[in-house]
Structure 1
Amino acid sequence: MAIAPNQEHAVMFARRPGSYAMVFDYVSGNIHTLIPAQSDRHFYGHGVYSNDGRWLYATEGERSTSHGIVGVYDVENGYRKVEEFSGFGIGPHEIITMSDGRLVVGVGGVHTQGRSPLNLDTMNPSLSYLSESGELLEQVSLQDKHKSIRHLAHDGEHTVLCGQQYRGEPDDYVPLVAMHRKGEALVELGGDPEDWARFDHYVASIAATESHILATSPRGNCYGIWDKATRELLEINALPDASGVVVTNGEFHVSSGIGRVVKINADLAKQTFVSGIQWDNHWSAIT
């Protein structure tokens, strides 16, 4: 979901690769606009509004090549597509905005046909920063090119977090979460191979408070918590189909596909609720 900062709009993107995005009123539930993908494009399942709410940015790709595109939609003119940004790689996934307006794109680097990967030997993932006008400002990558950078978060200040899907050898268990600050290298979070094996090569959602980082793995049926300052892995907790995570009032809220919701305070004390709703991979907080 993309949540508008200045009106009661949200956008649901068809699961990747998908052919539409649906704008709706999250109070009434009424559909506002249906945005179809161009015939030679598809959506990658993520998007974000500009900080002033004027533009909607969506990650897209060319169907034949997975060439990465950020589609720019004019909110005030019925979500009409007005521009495309490119030149940062193939297979973009999540996109977020920083407080200064910069766009951050998790570029997976994988050319797919449907969901089948076609270029695992040559994939080139990256974390790419774009200006509001589409200029490529900075691009960093991990040493292991089989780590497809997909899901993103930031801590409200200057640190970007990225979660990876590992596309290498199935018996290799490698770090799947990294953090980045402007002008620096990507730094991976801690954990032994047997810890990372719990995540089953896939991280879905990430969030950060002032002191901690949390990442979920629906495939691994767990979530991990790290110390933000030391990058040390503090704990891994079992949660079937662990899905979305958001931070509200300095506390984590974690969802799951079986309906459980876990609330985690600053001291990492936990409360578990049963919601009766089977949640998917991500959560967005409306404030």
Structure 2
Amino acid sequence: MVTDPTRRTLLKAALFGAAAPILPFGCSSTPNTPQSSQPSLIGCAITGRDRYSVVVADQFGQPIRQLPLPERGHGVTSNAARGHAVAFARRPGSYFMVFDYVTGEMIRLNKASPSRHYYGHGVYSNDGHLLFATEGERGTSRGIIGIYDVADGYKKIDELTDFGIGPHEVIVMPDDRLVIGVGGVHTNGREPLNLESMQPSLTFLSPRGERLEQRSLPDHRLSIRHLAHDGDNTVLCGQQYRGEPDEYPALLAMYRSGKELQPLYAEPEQWARFSHYIASIAASDEWILATSPRGNCYGIWSKQSGELVELSPLPDASGVVFNQGEFAISSGSGTVITQSQPRDKSSVFTSIQWDNHWSMIA
């Protein structure tokens, strides 16, 4: 059987032309972009067969330093006030690793207890004093947000629960509310056990764990997984479709306070390109960008109209962040795309096989 990292490597060259952009590509290659020593981006990477790392890079995606990971990583969060970052293991994950992204020193390797696992994501509180991590109970997939005290060596001090099963990503809003992408899937390892009865939701909690709001999509087979917000009050959620293989529902939805989740629009054949899975999401005032490593592509939607305006090929399209007027998109092929709006993009090649997600150091 072909392993997942091997599959990703084989797809790099073969699938680059599998999707055509809706708008002209207009891509200029800038392979000699000068490297900066200033840490700007952090993401997990595949470094070989069964070998993984977390990479600190400059604003162009060029690596500054790498730290080995004990197992494959997934999401990353950073704390600029302390110079810390945390890499979370891919679900069902057995660890999260805290490190100093300036010096490359590992600060703590936190192992999950035998009855728990990590779902691959976490986020610092806005003041940087706490770390929130998505966790699950083995055997039941009961959803938990673990709360860790940064100043006390990342000691767990509390847990939030009673919001559903299978939480994947958690983010923090500017007003300190927690938003959880509750996947709703009970699993044994990575095997789903309850696809007919799954109950995904977009759930809002107060920092004390009070459930403030919970929204669902009409199709319960759309597992809500990855999240982003636009710096204000708009939340984007990306889904994994767990229904019929020849059906292609909307995989991206937008939430504005007090309203129902609004699915974003693309034609079914365009949604088919995303292979039933949205990975990373980022948003600006005007645009929403979402990647699909399984579909080897990314799309850009108008925030105003909710319509897809560009669909571009990118082998193993992975992380995306928005900073200072530009999106930066990583890929398992080593290519990094910088794009400010549809049609306006450039690319560089890095030596890194980027994996899953990026974190921007604010």
- Paired residues of 1:104 and 1:127 also in contact (CA < 8 A): yes
Q: 1:27 aligns with which of 102, 105, 119?
A: 102
Q: 2:165 aligns with which of 83, 86, 90?
A: 90
- Paired residues of 1:225 and 1:234 also in contact (CA < 8 A): yes
2:323 is the alignment partner of 1:272: no
Instruction: Give aligned pairs, total.
Output: 287
Percentage identity across paired residues of the two chains: 62
- Paired residues of 1:5 and 1:49 also in contact (CA < 8 A): no
2:190 is the alignment partner of 1:190: no
2:334 is the alignment partner of 1:262: no
2:212 is the alignment partner of 1:126: no
Superposed counterparts of 1:47-196, under 5 Å: 47-196=122-271
**Normalised TM-score (structure 2):** 0.78
**Displacement over 2 Å in runs of 4+:** none
Within 1, Cα distance between the matches of 2:342 and 2:221?
35
Q: 1:248 aligns with which of 323, 337, 342?
A: 323
Aligned counterpart, 1:43: 118
Deviation at 1:266, TM superposition (A): 3.5
Deviation at 1:38, TM superposition (A): 1.8
Q: 2:301 aligns with which of 226, 235, 242?
A: 226
Q: Which moved more, 1:260-269 or 1:179-188?
A: 260-269
- Paired residues of 2:300 and 2:342 also in contact (CA < 8 A): no
Secondary structure in structure 2 of the residue aligned to 1:270: strand
- Paired residues of 1:5 and 1:51 also in contact (CA < 8 A): no
Unpaired segments of 5 or more residues in structure 1?
A: none
Aligned AA (2:144): I
2:302 is the alignment partner of 1:215: no
C-alpha RMSD over aligned residues:
0.8
Q: RCO greater where, 1 or 2, for CA within 8 Å and sep 6 or more?
A: 2
Unpaired segments of 5 or more residues in structure 2?
A: 1-75
- Paired residues of 2:296 and 2:315 also in contact (CA < 8 A): yes
Aligned AA (1:109): G
Deviation at 1:250, TM superposition (A): 1.2
Q: 1:11 aligns with which of 78, 81, 86?
A: 86
Within 1, Cα distance between the matches of 2:199 and 2:77?
27
Within 1, Cα distance between the matches of 2:351 and 2:360?
19
Aligned AA (1:86): T
Secondary structure in structure 2 of the residue aligned to 1:169: coil
- Paired residues of 2:170 and 2:227 also in contact (CA < 8 A): yes
CA offsets per residue over residues 157-192 of structure 1, 9 Å max, x none?
A: 010000000000000011000000121100000111
Deviation at 1:267, TM superposition (A): 5.4
Within 2, Cα distance between the matches of 1:103 and 1:50?
9
Deviation at 1:268, TM superposition (A): 3.8
Secondary structure in structure 2 of the residue aligned to 1:194: helix
- Paired residues of 2:266 and 2:308 also in contact (CA < 8 A): yes
